[in-house]
Structure 1
Amino acid sequence: MESSTSGRVELPTAFEEAHIDQLAQLIGDMLERLMAHNDQIPLLPESLTRFHSRSAPSITVLDYLKRIVKFTNVEKSCLLITLHYIDQICARMPLFTLSSLTCHRFIIASITVSSKGLCDSFCTNSLYAKVGGISVTELNILEREFLSAIDWRLMCTREILQEYYVNLVRTHSTGQFFISGSQSPISVSSDSDIEMDSEHSPPPSPSEAPSRARHRTRLSVNETSTILIDPGTISQDVTRRPTLEQNMAFAALQQSQDTTTTDKGGDG
């Protein structure tokens, strides 16, 4: 529902009642800002993962999400839980950043894993791979890497998903969305088919305003969820040497980028 006076868009109180295209728009907006932030962090050999591509895909994150929604009939909970998986992986892999080189592969791996783990019906890997623009072999590798990165902890409470939803609405870059009947976080019951034991709760961390470098969401279960990782903590908290595979991948990435730069220069 859109307000005729202010031009703002009213969204339902519960994320389950929101249109999935609106959820995709909210998530896409947040991820684009996250990518813009993390793209400023210098890429190091030890930070390379299976999710890194040699160049940023030309399709925007929002269009990528819309493509997934259109061709896979992904459920709303699977879109939102991608944010929870970001939290988990950033907590377990401090050097990992969701950037323009990793975001798209992370998303398709997340949708594949969550749909299989949480939904009664889901697509084949060949379809997920086709929609995601990668090979089936590559998706299979990403799926295994993803599950290992989150320690196979696929579940989370509905309450957490609702808090992600509320925060996405509150922090949208245009400020055009608001939740029906409330401008503040909504307390909801944790009864849900998507449950997680307390021992699998996200690791606690301090809370800050979303406009800062570290974008966080306060959860009503008295926990905190980190969406953006702080680049200032990367060199301080984690010190390890890159593996041989990472060094080789980093060299190949640099060579690919140098070739692309040379080709562009030649075209000029």
Structure 2
Amino acid sequence: MISYLAHRAAQVVPKVSCSGSQANLHVHEADLPSIYEFIKAVVQRSSVPVPTLITSLVYMWRMQTRLPPGAKGLSSTPHRIFLAALILAAKNLNDDSPMNKHWARYSAVPGYEFFGFSITEVNLMERQFLHLLDWDIRIDPQDLHHQLEPLDMFGAKTNMIKHEI
């Protein structure tokens, strides 16, 4: 599941550009965990249930469909997109969701001393994500089916590769 989440988060903004003032965000390539490591750490620390993870897939897909062609981001963009989608999914589905200050703490990945998002960044990511979704956080069965079908295929493909080794 984490591998698929990482795969999808990396696809939302396909071309990641290192240009721009990444120094302003205090993120340098060497300090950046892989999207897989980041998602694994956040999921472990937050203990979110699987339905929340699946809902985050729906939100990432919706965001991807609303971005203009050729949208670019920083190297931390997949991390930000995943975290914002997960926060919205958790708040939408769970009565007792972590507060944004907790999500900021969850974003610090062990072994990456200088990586993590501040509470200000987390609040901004959440607001921007909601704006890009036009505040449409409804989930219907078709949305879930649309996200679960590729997940099943991704899992089958991953299992086939493991058995070939």
Same fold by TM (over 0.5)?
A: yes
Question: 1:129 is matched with which residue?
Answer: 104
**Cα distance between partner residues in 2 of 1:147 and 1:137:** 16
Determine the C-alpha separation between the residues in 2 that align with 1:76 and 1:62.
16
Aligned to 1:27: 5
Q: Deviations over 1:44-87 (max 9, x none)?
A: 88xx9xxx885445212222111112111212222122232223
User: Shift in Å at residue 108 of structure 1?
Assistant: 1.1
Report how far residue 30 of structure 1 moved.
Answer: 4.2
Report whether the alignment pairs 1:70 with 2:48: no
* Contact persistence 1:55–1:101 (CA under 8 A): no
Residue type of the alignment partner of 2:126: E
Q: Residue 144 of structure 2: SS of its match in structure 1?
A: helix
Q: Which amino acid aligns with 1:26?
A: Y
Identity of aligned residues (%): 21
Post-superposition offset of 1:106: 1.1
Residue 90 of structure 1 and its aligned partner are, at CA, apart by 2.6
Q: What residue in structure 2 maps to residue 155 of structure 1?
A: 138
8 Å Cα contact 2:14-2:72 kept in structure 1:
yes
Counterpart CA distance in 2 for 1:77 and 1:98 is 28
Contact 1:125/1:139, CA 8 A, preserved across alignment: yes
Native 8 Å contact 1:82 1:107 kept in 2 = yes
Listed as ranges, the matches of 1:202-241 within 5 Å are: none
- Mapping of residues 163-178 of structure 1, within 5 Å: 163-171=146-154, 174-176=157-159
Aligned-partner SS, 1:122: coil
Structure 1: how far apart are the matches of 2:105 and 2:99? 10
**Richer in helix (by share):** 2
Structure 1: stretches of 5+ with no match in the other structure = 1-22, 178-268
Letter in 2 for 1:161: L
Aligned to 1:92: 66
Change (3 A) 1:175 1:99: farther
Number of aligned residue pairs: 147
Hey, what does 2:76 align to over in structure 1? 101
Q: CA RMSD in A?
A: 3.1
Contact 1:109 1:143 survives alignment (8 Å): yes
Match of 1:225 in 2: none
Q: In 2, distance between residues paired with 1:60 and 1:148?
A: 27
Tell me if the contact between 1:67 and 1:131 (Cα under 8 Å) persists in the aligned partners. Answer: yes
Distance 1:43 1:88, change over 3 A: farther
Contact 1:82–1:110 (Cα < 8 Å) also in 2: yes
Quick check: 2:6–2:35 contact (8 Å CA) kept in 1?
Answer: yes
CA distance 1:163–1:89, shift in 2 (3 Å): closer
Residue identity opposite 1:66 in structure 2: K
Determine the C-alpha separation between the residues in 2 that align with 1:129 and 1:62: 18
Q: TM-score, normalised by structure 1?
A: 0.47
Q: Deviations over 1:152-204 (max 9, x none)?
A: 11121234223312212314595416xxxxxxxxxxxxxxxxxxxxxxxxxxx
Moved more, 106-115 or 162-171: 162-171
* AA of the residue aligned to 2:80: R
Q: 1:43 to 1:70 in 2, by over 3 A?
A: closer
Query: How far apart, CA to CA, are the structure 2 residues paired with 1:53 and 1:85?
Result: 27
Q: Deviations over 1:102-161 (max 9, x none)?
A: 100111111112211221221111110111121111111111111111111112123422
Give yes or no for contact 2:19–2:74 (8 Å, CA) kept in 1: no
- After TM superposition, the score normalised by the length of structure 2 is 0.71
Q: Match of 2:112?
A: none
